[in-house]
Chain A
Amino acid sequence: MLFGGIDVGAQSVKAVVFDGKEIIGWKLNITEEAADTAARIVFQELLDDLGLKREALSRVFSTGWGASAVTFADGRSSEQVCAARGGRWLFPGARTVVDVGAEGCRVMKLTAAGAMEDFANNSKCASGTGSFIELGAVYLKVPIEEMGALSLAADGVAEVSSICAVFAESVIISNIHRGESRQRIAAGIHRSVAIRINELIGRMGVVPEIVLLGGTALNAGLVKILEEMVGIPLRLPENPRIVGALGAAIQASLKKKGKTAP
């Protein structure tokens, strides 16, 4: 039996087809349409790639920020539960799953058996999320993909406020004016994000293994600073951006009925 998972995030929309044992295929698009349309497009493209028809899938679950807008899904599951499921499926020893997306940061604590027992979220604020790093990249005039490498090349860390993404702009610009190197500023931006993520991990109690998910897990600069703060190495999925969608597909395989739109 085949199952589908769709994760409508703040920045990208992801689809995964899962057969209960393995990932059959996945697709990621940057969200440029309304949530429902974006989800339909990415899902159809994935089905076309795999040469499948919608009917071949037993159930499709949606998750993420725009989950309730996905009208063609059979059910939905919360982003915390899906991230925990997906992270645990990839790393069966996972006890803590950290999901840092474009605009959300969530830390899930799992029992030894793998059930989610607690979670912590960032409040309604972009500090501690991917968009904070993206803003930093804009001010440093660096493509987002190069931020990690830039940070790794730093010989120190510039002071960047961890409080607010809006005020961080002035902090970054004043660092530039002060003549701080771009490398050190990049490291400062990552440190500021890592402090926030580390706070949430601390709230859940640092229980290994810790898995890092979301687009930010592709950023080696952030991973290095976060690992230093947490004190233990993080487990990184090969494809950290689709784990939420994978979790939704796993939920679809486990549950007959998900939540329906409110």
Chain B
Amino acid sequence: MNETFARYAADRHEAVKKWKEETGKKVYGYFCCLTPEEIIAAADALPVRITGTGEPLEQADIYIPPNTCPFARGCLDAGLRGDYDYLDGVVAPNSCDIIAQMHYFWKTLVPRPDKPHLIAGMDLKPYVHYIAYPEKITGRAVVPYYLEVLKIFKQELERSLKRVISDEDLSRAIAAYNEDKAQLRRMYELRKSDPPKLSGYEAWQATFSSLMMPKADHAALLSTYLDEVEKSGNKAPEGVRIYLSGSAMDQAGSDLYKIIEQSGGQVVSDDLCVGTRAFWYPLNTELPPLEAIARRSLGTACPRSTVIAPVPENRWAHITSTIKDYGAKGAIFYILKCCDARNAEFPHLRDKIKNELGLPVLFLEGDYSAEGLEQMRGRIEAFIEMIEG
């Protein structure tokens, strides 16, 4: 276990605030791994992933009906409590329906540090940025359209931060992102062995902290850590190899890794946005930098982008390789209540995984709370016992 990663997993707010104090730089919060966060990094600011508290909600239910995504309500609750007061801006992409609306909720409900800079009714330096991510992610018009969206976002950032974001800045950020993605990929390679060289929880900590740290720093730290892991012969406790899929898997859900381990399983790979989806897709350095960023964002195989087919080919290819290459023996789906994107594709995915890959599938209905996770223990134990035979 790495101390820095553990620190970020235990209290990300404290760790990020400390970084901000030491460097004097700006911090932007964002929702969803589709966000073109590379542009924020190119402006020498730190993009950090917004997550909820996982504790009982205090205020969010005053504003959003309780039968809305518990992750989104958890995030908004954290904002309303003031947990994110250290942010200099917030970015919400039009990914799933509720995350798209976080733009509106955050803008109207979470107090902002200064007044909007309105010119002719337009906020040229918004505190909450909206990324009009396309509904449709394939087709000739998509990349030119999305490039325009990213240019607007880049301009907003340039005005807010009073600096130009040049192609060199973007290329430098892309290089740092690619390096971190390569290290994370290396970490996942170490989980292919039996038993894996890192436990699911250790890998989760490293992935989670990558969403809160400057990528170059994270890559350097992870590289050293992985060298140590390779040298020391670190091994995860043996267990039935599990593929974990689901909705947002942040610190609020991370105990699931421990419960699976205590039940005789070991998570070896995943289809999670705090997981493979966060780093699986490197940026193409041959392209103009903004286009490379646009294509990475569009190419991220998110369940949100399943409007064209129940399980599009790029998603199924990603799922197949992360199950087969990692020797998973069972698939656990932890899907949050009201997560329509996930629930709508689940029946198709379940049948494909069972029939085409021959793996048993366990469905768990999550409510984004630690208490809810504990109630899953019995079913997880039964599932693992079933696979053990």
Contacts and interface: CB of A to CB of B under 8 A. Distances in A.
A152 B386 CA distance: 38
Interface stretch (A39-47, A73-81, A126-134, A190-198): A73-81
A259 B378 contact: no
Interface residues of B, number: 16
Contact of B360 (A77, A117, A259): A117
Contacts of B372: 124
Contacts of A116: 386
Nearest to B259: A262
A26 interface: no
A67 B375 CA distance: 14
B386 A117 contact: yes
Interface residues of A, number: 16
Interface in A248-262: 259, 262
A155 B137 CA distance: 58
B382 interface: yes
Contacts of B379: 80, 119, 121
A119 B386 contact: yes
A50 interface: no
Given A115-B389, A259-B264, A262-B262, A124 B375 contact: yes
B385 interface: yes
Nearest to B363: A120
Nearest to B371: A124
A79 B378 contact: yes
A81 B385 contact: yes
Nearest to A118: B360
Contacts of A262: 262-263, 377
A46 B207 CA distance: 53
Contacts of B385: 77-78, 80-81, 259
B158 interface: no
A68 to B, nearest CB: 9
Contacts of A77: 385
Interface in B352-389: 360, 365, 372, 375, 377-379, 381-383, 385-386, 389
A259 B381 contact: yes
Interface string A42-59: 000000000000000000
A119 B389 CA distance: 14
A79 B365 contact: no
A81 B262 contact: no
Interface in A96-134: 115-119, 121, 123-124
Given A115-B389, A124-B375, A78 B382 contact: yes
Interface string B95-130: 000000000000000000000000000000000000
A62 to B, nearest CB: 12
A258 B382 CA distance: 12
Interface string A221-262: 000000000000000000000000000000000000001001
Contacts of A119: 379, 382-383, 386
Contact of A80 (B262, B375, B386): B386
Nearest to B354: A118
Interface centre among A77, A117, A121 (most CB of B within 10 A): A121
A78 B389 contact: no
B339 to A, nearest CB: 15
Interface string B58-96: 000000000000000000000000000000000000000
B388 to A, nearest CB: 9
Contact of B382 (A80, A117, A123): A80
Contacts of B383: 119
Contact of A78 (B360, B365, B375, B381): B381
B378 A78 contact: yes
A49 to B, nearest CB: 30
A262 B378 CA distance: 12
A117 B361 CA distance: 10
Nearest to A119: B382
A118 B331 CA distance: 12
Contacts of A121: 379
A98 B264 CA distance: 25
A245 B360 CA distance: 26
A81 B378 contact: no
B266 to A, nearest CB: 15
Interface centre among A77, A78, A116, A259 (most CB of B within 10 A): A78
A20 to B, nearest CB: 19
Contacts of B264: 259
Contacts of B382: 78-81, 119
Contacts of B263: 259, 262
Contacts of A115: 389
A147 B378 CA distance: 30
Interface of A: 65, 77-81, 115-119, 121, 123-124, 259, 262
25 contacts: A65-B378, A77-B385, A78-B378, A78-B381, A78-B382, A78-B385, A79-B378, A79-B382, A80-B379, A80-B382, A81-B382, A115-B389, A116-B386, A117-B360, A117-B386, A118-B360, A119-B379, A119-B382, A119-B383, A119-B386, A123-B365, A259-B264, A262-B262, A262-B263, A262-B377
Interface of B: 262-264, 360, 365, 372, 375, 377-379, 381-383, 385-386, 389
Given A78-B381, A79-B382, A118-B386, 18 more contacts: A78-B378, A78-B382, A78-B385, A80-B382, A80-B386, A81-B382, A81-B385, A115-B389, A116-B386, A117-B360, A117-B386, A118-B360, A119-B379, A119-B382, A121-B379, A259-B263, A259-B381, A262-B377
Report, nearest first, the 3 A-B pairs whose CB atoms are least far apart.
Answer: A78-B382, A80-B382, A262-B262
